[in-house]
């Protein structure tokens, strides 16, 4: 009888610990970084020493999501495979072209997790290579962009947006 009582007590304690842990993990807050908006973007430090561009960031938003299709990207940093449903972080934004020509812009980001690690690379369906996304905007006009990075945690604390390369008249190959 005492042995049965001990077993029942252990089972109740184990279930309580399991349910408590489940509650803790499901109720943990999702970290979201501050939004970036209303500023001219700089070149990344490797291009023109990080100087300011004439690409105006109208707004941006950040959220956690999943890729909606499968694709493969290869570049200088390696080859990457994305499968439909893979978790990712997504930064959507709107830029305005304040240059005197219609241009394609390569937009990139430095995205940091709660440990201060930079995550990456950027892997988007509308970019031919890892590391950036492409947006086109006519003179004085605005257009949207989307950045995706394969990542399965919800602990992003900050991000900074940049122009990765000189603006071009044609899309990157």
Q: What is the pLDDT of residues 27-59, one digit of tens each?
A: 456 777 888 889 999 998 877 788 999 999 999
156-163 and 39-43 beta bridge pairing? parallel
Between 15 and 96, where is the model more confident? 96
Angle at the Cα of 166 from the Cα atoms of 92 and 95, rounded to 5 degrees: 25
Residues ≥6 apart with Cβ < 8 Å to 56: 39, 40, 41, 95, 96, 97, 98
pLDDT at res. 19:
53
- Around 28, how many Cα atoms within 13 Å sit in the side-chain half-sphere? 10
- Tokens at residue 53, please? 């561009």
- Per-residue model confidence as pLDDT tens digits over 68-118: 999 999 988 899 999 999 999 999 999 999 999 999 999 999 999 999 999
Confidence of residue 22 (pLDDT cuts 50, 70, 90): very low
pTM, 2 dp: 0.81
């Amino acid at each position: 009888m005492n042995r049965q009582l001990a077993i029942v007590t252990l089972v109740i304690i184990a279930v309580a610990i399991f349910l408590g842990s489940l509650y803790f993990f499901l109720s943990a807050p999702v970290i979201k970084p501050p939004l970036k908006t209303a500023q001219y973007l700089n070149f990344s430090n490797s291009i023109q020493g990080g100087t300011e561009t004439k690409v105006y960031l109208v707004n941006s938003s950040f959220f956690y999501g999943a890729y909606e299709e499968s694709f493969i990207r290869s570049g200088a940093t390696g080859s990457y495979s994305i499968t439909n449903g893979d978790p990712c972080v997504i930064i959507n934004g709107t830029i305005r072209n304040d240059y005197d020509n219609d241009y394609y812009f390569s937009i990139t980001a430095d995205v940091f997790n709660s440990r201060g690690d930079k995550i990456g690379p950027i892997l988007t369906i509308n970019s031919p290579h890892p590391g950036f996304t492409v947006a086109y905007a006519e003179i004085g006009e605005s257009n949207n962009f989307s950045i995706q990075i394969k990542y399965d945690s919800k602990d992003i604390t900050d991000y900074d947006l940049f122009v990765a390369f000189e603006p071009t008249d044609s899309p990157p190959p």
